[in-house]
Structures are given as C-alpha cells and as structure tokens.
C-alpha cells in the first residue's frame, strides 16, 4: 500500500492542474473526497468489526482506486471530482484498519507498531522517488500504469495476511465506541490538537510538488525530496516507540508538533528549491514521530475491544476533517497568496495545535500503554 500510495498521491494535484483544474478547484476536489470518506467510515467499521472482513476491505481499498486511476485523464472537472470521491471512499479505510491490525499484530509478535509501520513509510519513499523518475521520461497522464501494477502487487500481499489476527481486528460497534471515546475530555482535546496540526500536512501531501515547481524545482528534484521525506519516516518510526518509553507519548507528540512549526516556518522564510529539499529531513521528526505516538495514544485511550473504533475516529479527525479543511484552506491560500502565505498559515496552525497538546499533557493523564 505504501509503494502504490507514494507513486500516485503526491502527484495528483499536478495531474489535476495539468488537466486544466485551478488550485482552488483542486482544493474542492480533495475536500469533497474527504467528506465522502467521513460519511462512509462508520460503514467500513461495521463491516470490519461485525463481519470480520478485514482482508476484503483492505483489498477493495487497493483494487477500486487502481481501476479508477485511468479516468483522471478525463479533462472534465465533474468527472475528476467523482473519480476522486469514489477513490477516497475506498482508500479512507486503509489507515485505521491497517493500523488497528498492526497494533495487535505487533503485540502478538512481541515487537512495536513503529517497526511495522516503518515498512509502509519505506514503500512510500520508494514510490515517490520512482514516480519522479518516471515522470522525467513519461507524461503525468500515464502515471496510472505503474500505480495499477503496484496496487496489484499489494492485493497479493494482503491475501497472505494471517487469518487468525484478522479475526481479532475489531469487536465493538462503531457508535458505542464513538460515544465512549468522545466522553473522554483529554482524548477530545487530543483530537482537536491533531486536527490543527494535520490540516497543515495537506501542504505537503496535496500541494508539495506543485509549490516546489512554483519555486523553480523540477519533477526529478521533487522525487528526491519526496524520497528524503519518506525515508526519514523509517528511522523515526523505528525509534519512536523507544522514545515513547523513555520520554512518554505526550512528550513525543509535543516534539513532533514543534518540528511541524519549524518545518513550515523554514519553507515560508526560505522558498528556495535546495532549502525545500533539505528541510524534508524534518518530515520524519514531524509526521513520523507524531503519527506513531498518536496511534499509540489512541490505542491506550481506547482500551480493549475498541481498537478499530478508536483508530477510525482518530483517522476521521486526523485525515478526514483535517484533510477537508487543509485542502480547502491551503488551496485557497495558494491561489490568493502563493506558497509564502500558505506556509505561514501552516506554521501558525501547527503552533496552535502544539499549545492544545501542551494543555492535554498538563491535564489528567491518560493510559499510555
């Protein structure tokens, strides 16, 4: 999943712009997909929790987007909007279900979630780099070909997942788990802080290649930047669990949040291709540390029997609502003020999220196991 995602995801906005879509319209497309994914997220939770169909759901999350990718070549806003919405509806389940599966699998194998998650980051790194190299020789409208092939390989790997762990992936109704978790004040503020921070990540996930080219960078150099960013996730996720044991989950979250502020601040102050490439080393400290610590925080706060529900709720806020606001806001900021305004607002939002997480740390402690 990481390899195919890295191949297509970072370059979608460039593909849309290549097809004649304006930056603000790109934000609408991205946000519409997130809205659709939030609406159907509870249905995926029921399918996994009640009917124990983890592998089927994950296979659909790869197969449907792979088949639809070709239709991004239609130079029609409505068609691209529909294709992206349907794609996101299926892809939205990848993170919460695979994270829930990975947390349980890590415990059964006596390892850490971070070690398992690092393989996804490594695949994402290689995918982004290969796509950049591919686009130096092929049109961006042909990017669907390697994406389809890599997705097919992902289907084969999902089919090999152990059935025993699959049966334990989730066991609590989504609605009941949702009520319990939202009743936890500390968890609620944690979600708000995550929202403020992750809405800024769309500046990277959705608009990085586009803004990089606006700064004078090339496709080849953007591929190298994406490779650096994703590769830094690998060591970050490998050592993330060790740091959590030494410093505590909340302190790691604060460290990662501060790295987000620094990251966006540098890109605002120094919009130079070489500097932008270099600053991607902060991706691991920001996203890598933050995501691993957040998943562990959710796992500890959710308790037994609500793991899939907790991860789904976290993903709805972190990627869903954060993605909607981030894509709309950053797309608008990019159009009216360029990359400078977008990265300045991202730094301010990340700082606000850091302060909220500092409040969570100062409040009633939450189980961090």
Are 128 and 226 a contacting pair, CB within 8 Å?
yes
**DSSP states along 279-338:** GGGHHIIIIIHHHHHHHHHHHHHH-TT-HHHHHHHHHIIIIIIHHHHHHHHHHHHHHHHH
State how far the Cα of 259 lies from the Cα of 284, in Å rounded to an integer: 9
State how far the Cα of 269 lies from the Cα of 157, in Å rounded to an integer: 43
Q: Is 184 helix (H, G, I), strand (E, B) or coil?
A: coil
In which element (H, E) is residue 259 found?
Answer: helix 249-269
Q: What is each CA distance from 42 to 1, 89, 233, 286, in whole angstroms?
A: 22, 11, 29, 29
Name the residue among 19, 210, 216, 223 with its Cα closest to residue 131: 223
pLDDT recorded at residue 177: 65
Q: How many CA atoms lie within 13 A of 166 on its CB side?
A: 16
pLDDT recorded at residue 168: 47
State how far the Cα of 62 lies from the Cα of 227, in Å rounded to an integer: 22
pLDDT recorded at residue 368: 42
pLDDT recorded at residue 170: 44
In which element (H, E) is residue 74 found?
Answer: none
Q: Where are the beta strands (DSSP E) in 315-361?
A: none
Q: Is the pTM of this model over 0.75?
A: no
What digits encode the pLDDT tens for the residues 65-106? 999 999 998 888 999 999 999 998 888 777 777 777 777 777
Q: Is 10 helix (H, G, I), strand (E, B) or coil?
A: helix
**Which residues of the chain carry a pLDDT beneath 50?**
164-170, 365-369
Domain residue spans of the chain: 2-362
CATH 1.20.1250.20 fits 2-362, yes or no: yes
pLDDT recorded at residue 277: 94
Name the residue among 323, 325, 305, 321 with its Cα closest to residue 313: 321
């Amino acid at each position: 999943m990481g390899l195919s995602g890295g191949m297509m995801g970072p370059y979608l906005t460039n593909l849309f712009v290549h097809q004649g879509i304006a930056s603000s319209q790109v934000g609408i497309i991205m946000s519409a997909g997130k809205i659709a994914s939030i609406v159907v997220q509870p249905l995926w939770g029921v399918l996994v929790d009640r009917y124990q169909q983890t592998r089927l759901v994950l296979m659909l999350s790869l197969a449907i987007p792979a088949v639809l990718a070709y239709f991004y070549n239609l130079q029609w806003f409505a068609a691209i909007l529909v294709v992206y919405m349907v794609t996101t509806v299926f892809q939205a389940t990848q993170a919460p279900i695979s994270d829930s599966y990975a947390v349980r699998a890590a415990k059964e194998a006596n390892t850490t979630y971070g070690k398992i998650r690092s393989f996804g980051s490594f695949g994402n790194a290689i995918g982004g780099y290969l796509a950049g190299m591919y686009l130096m020789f092929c049109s961006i409208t042909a990017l669907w070909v390697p994406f389809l092939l890599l997705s097919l390989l992902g289907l084969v790997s999902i089919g090999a997942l152990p059935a025993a762990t699959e049966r334990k992936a989730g066991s609590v109704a989504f609605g009941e788990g949702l009520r319990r978790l939202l009743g936890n004040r500390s968890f609620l503020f944690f979600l708000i802080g995550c929202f403020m921070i992750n809405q800024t990540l769309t500046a990277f996930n959705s608009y990085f290649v586009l803004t990089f080219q606006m700064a004078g960078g090339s496709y080849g150099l953007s591929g190298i930047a994406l490779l650096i960013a994703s590769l830094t996730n690998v060591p970050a996720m490998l050592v993330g669990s060790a740091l959590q044991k030494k410093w505590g989950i909340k302190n790691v979250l604060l460290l990662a949040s501060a790295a987000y502020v620094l990251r966006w601040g540098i890109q605002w102050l120094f919009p130079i291709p070489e500097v932008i490439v270099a600053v991607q080393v902060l991706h691991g400290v920001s996203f890598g540390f933050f995501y691993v610590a957040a998943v562990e925080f959710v796992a500890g706060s959710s308790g037994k029997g609500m793991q899939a529900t907790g991860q789904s709720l976290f993903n709805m806020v972190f990627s869903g609502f954060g993605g909607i606001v981030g894509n709309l806001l950053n797309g608008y900021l990019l159009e009216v003020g360029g990359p400078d305004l977008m990265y300045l607002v991202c730094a301010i939002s990340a700082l606000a999220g850091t302060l909220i997480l500092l409040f969570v740390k100062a409040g009633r402690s939450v189980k961090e196991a």
